[in-house]
Structure 1
Amino acid sequence: MSKVSKPKREGKLLENIDDDVMLINKLKQEVVKKSDTKIETEEFPDGEETANDDCTDKDDWKKDSGFYDGIDPKAFRQYELACDRVKDFYEEQHTKQTVAYNIQARINFKTRVRAKMTIWEGLEKLNKLLDESDPDTELSQIDHALQTAEAIRRDGKPRWFQLVGLIHDLGKLLYFFDSKGQWDVVGDTFPVGCKYSAKIIFPGSFQKNPDLKNPLYNTKYGIYQKHCGLDKVMLSWGHDEYMYHIAKLNSTLPQEALAMIRYHSFYPWHQEGAYTYLMDEHDKMMLEAVRAFNKYDLYSKIDENYNVDDLKKYYLELIDEYFPEKVIDF
């Protein structure tokens, strides 16, 4: 695999606000705890744990290579460094991500075909997005996808895990289709229809969200029930939810892979321990998978970048292995 020079900073389809959101999504919290660690949070008074003790030898994805053990977690997700544009973004997101909007977004997803193309064609289209303010990388979207996938491949993870690394951000294609702006494409995700957790970034910015004053939505459980399972919870609409539904409909990826795609921006849950009272037993297993993936998403940007042509054949075969219908309805 040959290194290539970093791409020139030319062109940009996302406004600067999205660049800053991408910056913020790589900053602050501590490194993901190992899978047998308890979630310790005042939001979960029942004293329940999220560790999964059902590990088997076939679960190679659970083995930690330790490659990123030397990473300084304080260099990531430092929200206190956020500029005004990032705070303005989250105020807009937190104001407009209502239950009503999320229901409509899902109706739109089920009733519209935005484009017909292969996964690789989607990656090439997404490659037009360039995060110009990211301090950790000047790479395009496809280069970040390859970095993540190659880091997972380097650590000997299963092929499906590698594919998740390649496609986890592919849902950002929403920006080219029927998104309303940045607020329903990028940013940390959170449940709608119940009380907003103090663990969400900038929790005070929900003040203008009409759901905050709706008695159906502003209690701890809201429209949900205790331990109902996250599959029954509406997370704020964006690239995670969009790509999760695309993969669920069109791929043979295992449940762990789908969880990695759906929850990788759900930082209040997988890093801060919020909303554990909505989890069921299945979610406890999926949390372990999301945490296993998260470090590759965050830390692979410090690794070398790769020549796309050198890797294309390998990943085309990998895509075909799990997406039997080559042309996908996006």
Structure 2
Amino acid sequence: MPLLKSPHSLEDISDAIDTVNLLQLKDWDTAPRFDQDTDKSKFRQFEDARDSVKAFYKEQHERQTVEFNTKVREEMQGNVHARMGIWEAMNMLNTLRDESDPDTNMSQMEHLLQTAEAIRIDGKPEWMQVVGLVHDLGKLLYFFDSQGQWDVVGDTFVVGCQFSDKIIYPETFAGNPDSNDPVYSSKFGIYKPHCGLDNVMLSWGHDEYLYRVLKDQSSLPAEGLAMIRYHSFYPWHRDGAYEHLMNTADVKSLAAVQAFNPYDLYSKSDIPVNAAELKPYYCDLISKFFPPVIEW
């Protein structure tokens, strides 16, 4: 995806912060402190989740097929839905309520700011703070050409091989036609052992979409892009599934996503943040890592 031309080009921004990023990379993976008093047992309680959450995952699991994932990736190539800056995108996303989340009914703006603030409180580097701020902006896909929330939000998983029993509600894959395909239902499916996650298709949604949007339109380090791309891939980063598809590069990505996940998950709170008060700080941060306008 080509970069937009602007008075403050991405190349200029990247050159200006390269040294800072190198200095800050070393402390992104220290243990989180913000959540020491958080009761983590209250999160991701899918057995007691709302009926709407269970209905969402049933639909997602039945409709995320190899055929669909191949088609949607082809359709995305060269397709620009909108042109706007990061903060404008956050405001647009704020009208969405995530049907897959059993933990909170707070707005998307609240969640993004809560995540970023938790990372900031723990003194993590600026690039990681901004990852927290933008990590769910791929949900903008819902307003463009999605077929519903099932191809935008929710936990992700590999398609094209056997569905892991580590995925939530694994029994609902019975309605997915790939479950009855002799190749797609086998352990390795269409993949080779240890081929690397770059070479598999994860169920399409906001993670993969945002990664594809930002990988050429930001100066985020590889660790930050991995946090964005895989943060919903819970069967992998939380439950250890798909080790048979990983390569050595994925080990580094896994460490990054596991460092990010507590901030994404345990920062959720019903106590609102003051977006207007935080805006100047985060707009300054945004300008360090992104051009003024992003092609979505």
TM-score band, normalised by shorter chain? 0.7 to 0.9
Backbone CA RMSD of aligned residues: 2.0
Shift of 1:90: 1.4
Partner Cα distance (2:125, 2:203) in 1? 29
Q: 1:327 aligns with which of 268, 293, 296?
A: 293
Counterparts of 1:233-244 in structure 2, within 5 Å, are 233-244=200-211
Counterparts of 1:136-155 in structure 2, within 5 Å, are 137=104, 139-155=106-122
CA deviation profile, 1:103-144 (whole Å, cap 9, x unmatched): 111112113111111111110101112469978655321121
Q: 2:268 aligns with which of 301, 312, 315?
A: 301
- Bigger mean CA deviation after superposition, 312-321 or 276-285: 312-321
Partner Cα distance (2:190, 2:99) in 1? 40
Corresponding residue number in structure 2 for 1:200: 167
- Bigger mean CA deviation after superposition, 202-211 or 294-303: 294-303
Q: Work out whether residues 147 and 304 of structure 1, in 8 Å CA contact, stay in contact via their aligned partners in 2.
A: no
> Does the C-alpha gap of structure 1 residues 242 and 135 become closer, same or farther in structure 2, counting only changes over 3 Å?
closer
Partner Cα distance (1:81, 1:304) in 2? 23
**Percent sequence identity over matched residues?**
59
Shift of 1:85: 2.9
Larger fraction in helix: 2
> Does the C-alpha gap of structure 1 residues 58 and 257 become closer, same or farther in structure 2, counting only changes over 3 Å?
closer
Counterparts of 1:166-245 in structure 2, within 5 Å, are 166-245=133-212
Shift of 1:84: 3.3
Q: Does 1:100 align with 2:67?
A: yes
> Does the C-alpha gap of structure 1 residues 172 and 134 become closer, same or farther in structure 2, counting only changes over 3 Å?
closer
Partner Cα distance (1:114, 1:62) in 2? 35
Corresponding residue number in structure 2 for 1:6: none
> Does the C-alpha gap of structure 1 residues 283 and 310 become closer, same or farther in structure 2, counting only changes over 3 Å?
same
Q: Work out whether residues 53 and 99 of structure 2, in 8 Å CA contact, stay in contact via their aligned partners in 1.
A: no
Partner Cα distance (2:133, 2:72) in 1? 25
> Does the C-alpha gap of structure 1 residues 137 and 181 become closer, same or farther in structure 2, counting only changes over 3 Å?
closer
Where does structure 2 lack aligned partners over 5 or more consecutive residues?
1-22
Q: 2:236 aligns with which of 261, 269, 277?
A: 269
Q: 1:114 aligns with which of 81, 89, 96?
A: 81
Partner Cα distance (2:33, 2:86) in 1? 31
> Does the C-alpha gap of structure 1 residues 131 and 222 become closer, same or farther in structure 2, counting only changes over 3 Å?
closer
Q: Does 1:126 align with 2:93?
A: yes
Q: Work out whether residues 49 and 102 of structure 2, in 8 Å CA contact, stay in contact via their aligned partners in 1.
A: no
Corresponding residue number in structure 2 for 1:253: 220
Superposition TM-score, scaled by structure 2 size: 0.87
Partner Cα distance (1:137, 1:86) in 2? 12
> Does the C-alpha gap of structure 1 residues 134 and 253 become closer, same or farther in structure 2, counting only changes over 3 Å?
closer
Where does structure 1 lack aligned partners over 5 or more consecutive residues?
1-55
> Does the C-alpha gap of structure 1 residues 134 and 278 become closer, same or farther in structure 2, counting only changes over 3 Å?
closer
* Aligned-partner residue type, residue 106 of structure 1: R
Q: Count residues with an aligned counterpart.
A: 274
